[in-house]
Structures are given as C-alpha cells and as structure tokens.
Amino acid sequence: MRPAFILALCASLATSPGYAATNCQSDAMLVFDGSGSMDEMTMEMRGPTRIDEARHALRDALPGIAVSRRIGLLTYGAGADGACTPTLRFAPVDGAAPAVIAAIEGLVAGGLTPLTASVQAAAEVLAYRTRPATVVLVTDGNETCGGTPCATGRVMEAAGHDLTVHVIGFRVVVDDFTWDNPEQADYAGGTTVAKCLADATGGLFVTTETVNDLVEALFVTLGCPVIGMAPANPVSAATKNAPGFARGAFSSAWGPDLLRLAKIFGPARHRLSGAEPVSDGLQKAIQAGRMQSVHPMFLGSYVREGHKG
C-alpha cells in the first residue's frame, strides 16, 4: 500500500459530498471498460495486460465488497471493433462477486469507449431519477464514441434524486486528439475527460497504476463503510493501546485526548493518515472534538489507539 496513494484518496474523500452521503442500503452498478486498449501491455511491452490486472483486482476486492451491497454489472467495448453500445450484464443482485468475476474473466476486450452512454445506462438501471444511485466506472481512457461526459454529467446531476458517479482511471492512456470529443481539450496532461462525471455528481476521481491501487479504489468507491461510535470517554494513559475494532467510517468524541487509527496487515500495523496530508504520510493524530473520520477505508481489522495530548 503506497502512502501517497492513500493520501490522495483521503483528500478526495474529505472533499467529496457524494462519498459522505454513501448509503449502504442503496444498490450500485459497476461499469467496466472492455475496450481494445484494455488488452494492451505496458509501454515496455512486457507483463500482463490491463484487463488481466483488472481481473486480478476484482478477484481480490469484490468478495469483501459484495457481502454488504447489491451490485450490478455493465460493460462496454467488448465485441466487434468499433462497438459503441454498452452491454448490461445484470442488474444489482445480492452476492454479486462470483457473477461479476466470471463475466469479466470471459470478457474479450475490443472496440471503442462509450463511457458516457454506459454511465447513463447504468444510472437508468438504478432508477436514478427517483432513487439513490451509485455508479462506479473503471476505465483506461477517454470517451471515443461521441459522448459528452461534462455536459451529460451536469444534466444527470440535475435530474437525479441522489446520484453519485465515481471514476477510477486504471493505467489511463488519453488520446489528446479532440476532434471526436472537444471536451477532452480541457483535460490535458493525461487526465481523462471522464473526470467530469465524478466532478458533476460529487463523486471521486481516482487514478490507479497497480493492482493494489485498483483494489483499494474499488473498496473506497464501491464498498460500504460501516458506521460505528467510538467511545465518548477520555482515554487514559493506561489504555493507550487498548483495542477497539471497527470497519468503515466512524464518529468520535474522545474528549481531551488524541485519536489515531491503525490498520492491521497480518502481524504488522500500518497507521493510516487522516484527511489532511502529513509529513511522513503514515500517521495522523486527530485532535479532540466531534469529528467524522474517513478511516478505516478498507475491509480488515483496525484498532483505535488513544493517547494523551
């Protein structure tokens, strides 16, 4: 787990109203990029393809995510070259992990990138005009089928009841030629215009380069934080390392003490930062008072560590 990546996610979460309002009772749709570029290797032309790495990430992430949320799947690009029509694999169901994994394992990458139409179609499946809806788009590039993510995002936000679109850019390669997508001109420097969809709906835009990055981003965007209350009593020096386990975000009112969160990875303990960047990228002591922490972000065991300020 890379501290810089965690900090970037923290900063995004801290400023994203969409994430703060995430409702674990609402359904979600995963929109997966099956375009031809997903079948490409790295610039060095060695190692696994993007789609192989994405499959790996889904195998790692989805079993822990789908236990708490109904998930559906929509793919695009796969099929005949030039395909610009999204394919609904299935609407949200309980325990979707095996079905999602199997569908992506069998996906043959090819065709173009109708990401705007795909997000629209996924939102329609969720009846986004009248119900809360979360759409998570995983893509490696920009719109290539004539869609307008920025304009469409604004229209969908205005029409939606409570729509949030999260965009995960996975090893993004952006076509800077904008003849087929003028909106891309405003997103130079390797950022996909798909970011517009997240910006318009209060979602997250996260860039990922590795399997682990993608796993973490899936947990943050597609997963459901479990809300729990931390103890309201001050933590004494004698209970500096007292265990208290929680998953997801939680509110805290610890009195005069400081609060620190640590994620347990096997025998090791890696402290995660709060929403504000810190110098070492690993540790954040959160001042006392009523606050909302975005951590823990990922499934796993966590210990609350209080210590005197």
* Domain coverage including residue 282: 228-307
Query: What number is the average pLDDT over the span 187-204?
Result: 79
Whether residues 204 and 276 share a domain: the answer is: no
End-to-end Cα spacing for the chain: 29
Whether residues 271 and 215 share a domain: the answer is: no
Asked whether 199 and 15 are in contact (CB, 8 A), the reply is no
Indicate if the pLDDT at residue 199 is higher than 60: yes
Encode pLDDT of 14-40 as tens digits.
Answer: 344 444 334 567 899 999 998 888 877
Final residue of a structural domain among 222, 256, 274: 222
Q: What is the spatial distance between Cα 265 and Cα 296, in angstroms, rounded to a whole number?
A: 13
* Alpha-carbon torsion, ordered 229, 233, 239, 241, to 10 deg: 30
Cα Rg, the chain, nearest whole Å: 20
Final residue of a structural domain among 182, 202, 222: 222
Query: What number is the average pLDDT over the span 172-178?
Result: 60
Per-residue confidence at 71, pLDDT binned at 50, 70, 90?
A: very high
Per-residue confidence at 246, pLDDT binned at 50, 70, 90?
A: very low
Whether residues 96 and 161 share a domain: the answer is: yes
Final residue of a structural domain among 222, 240, 264: 222
The residues pairing with 72 across neighbouring beta strands, listed in sequence order, are 29
What is the percentage of the chain residues whose pLDDT exceeds 90?
30
Whether residues 274 and 234 share a domain: the answer is: yes
To 5 degrees, how large is the angle CA 180–CA 150–CA 50?
A: 65
Per-residue confidence (pLDDT) for residue 87, from 0 to 100: 92
Specify the range with the lowest mean pLDDT, choosing from 63-67, 158-162, 288-292.
288-292
**CATH no. for residue 35?**
3.40.50.410
Encode pLDDT of 226-240 as tens digits.
Answer: 433 333 333 333 222
Looking at per-residue confidence, does 264 or 187 come out higher?
187
What is the percentage of the chain residues whose pLDDT exceeds 70?
54
Query: What number is the average pLDDT over the span 79-103?
Result: 87
Whether residues 40 and 91 share a domain: the answer is: yes
State how many domains the chain has.
2
Whether residues 48 and 118 share a domain: the answer is: yes
Whether residues 208 and 302 share a domain: the answer is: no
Per-residue confidence (pLDDT) for residue 15, from 0 to 100: 41
Q: What is the spatial distance between Cα 204 and Cα 207, in angstroms, rounded to a whole number?
A: 10
Per-residue confidence (pLDDT) for residue 300, from 0 to 100: 39
Q: What is the spatial distance between Cα 118 and Cα 111, in angstroms, rounded to a whole number?
A: 14
Whether residues 125 and 184 share a domain: the answer is: yes
Whether residues 34 and 168 share a domain: the answer is: yes
Segment of 103-107, 123-127, 174-178, 212-216 carrying the highest mean pLDDT: 123-127
Q: What is the spatial distance between Cα 195 and Cα 205, in angstroms, rounded to a whole number?
A: 6
Whether residues 233 and 196 share a domain: the answer is: no
Whether residues 46 and 194 share a domain: the answer is: yes
Q: Pick from 15, 2, 71: which is nearest to 198 by CA? A: 15
Indicate if the pLDDT at residue 8 is higher than 80: no
Asked whether 294 and 13 are in contact (CB, 8 A), the reply is yes
Whether residues 215 and 260 share a domain: the answer is: no
Asked whether 170 and 139 are in contact (CB, 8 A), the reply is yes
Q: Cβ neighbours of residue 98 under 8 Å, at least 6 residues apart?
A: none
Per DSSP, 202 falls in state T
